[in-house]
Amino acid sequence: MFKIINYEKDIIFKTKIGEICSISLEQDFNVEDNIFKGSFNLSGEYKPNNLSVNKETFNYDLPLEYELDDKIDKESIIYEIDNFEYNTVDDVLSVYIDLRLNYEEIKKEPIIPEPFKLEEEPESKDIIELEPIPIEEKPVIEENIEEDRLNKEEQEAIIDSTPKEDTYIVYHIHKITEMDTLESIAKEYNTSVDMIKEYNEGESFEINNKLIIPCKKNE
């Protein structure tokens, strides 16, 4: 199961924005009680006007809180950036972020009603002894030990494949220049060409186009 959290924010800069030279997006979230909370960190460089040689830096924390449904298993949540876009008008940078939450739903145990109890009849003075009725013995079915062992191995494989909590992904926005190739961009951001293609499916590799560059880091 998954949910998409749509996040929009207008950020006012101290000067006009002529050109965004570079921009990076990081995220840090956790679950407290029934609230998914944390923040995005947006940073990069820009020119106050297109003719300027000097660059200005920017760094903003964008907080987010989202109330989770009671059916969501909080320990199973894995989050990632599904889409990131931005545009500029004068001194305002507008960002649009889609955050994807992958999770499992909590399975409730079925309620089994208690068996109906008959009221006890008063004891009779005359006690009649009855002969016991023989009950056929049911064959003992041996448990499938091999199947149980495989189930445990599958569970361990699932646990081992769970992403570790000490990793997160940084997203960069790269503007394509005349000198760029997919190999040179992958080398610059310490990632792979296949990863760039996966996150930019449908985008043409042309000058001035923007690419989303995912990079895995350790804390």
For the entire predicted model, the pTM comes to: 0.51
State the pLDDT at residue 50.
Answer: 82
**Which residue, 105, 128, 143, sits at the end of a domain?**
105
Same structural domain, 95 and 26 = yes
pLDDT band, very low/low/confident/very high, at 85 (cuts 50, 70, 90): very high
The answer to whether position 126 is within a domain reads no
Q: State which residues form the domain around 185.
A: 162-219
R_g over Cα of the chain: 30
Query: For the chain, what is the domain count?
Result: 2
For the segment 133-180, what is each residue's pLDDT rounded down to a tens digit? 666 655 554 444 444 444 554 444 433 444 444 444 677 888 889 888
Same structural domain, 2 and 91 = yes
The answer to whether position 155 is within a domain reads no
The answer to whether position 86 is within a domain reads yes
- The CATH number covering residue 198 comes to 3.10.350.10
For the segment 89-107, what is each residue's pLDDT rounded down to a tens digit? 999 999 999 999 999 988 8
**Which residue, 56, 82, 105, sits at the end of a domain?**
105
Q: Which residue has the higher pLDDT, 28 or 169?
A: 28
Same structural domain, 183 and 93 = no
Q: Within 71-202, where are the H helices?
A: 145-161, 182-188, 193-199
Q: What is the mean pLDDT of residues 61-79?
A: 91
The token pair that represents 207 in the structure block = 């000058």
- Side-chain-facing half-sphere of 155: CA atoms under 13 Å: 6
Instruction: Report how far Cα 194 is from the mean position of its chain's Cα atoms.
Output: 21
Same structural domain, 97 and 166 = no
The answer to whether position 51 is within a domain reads yes
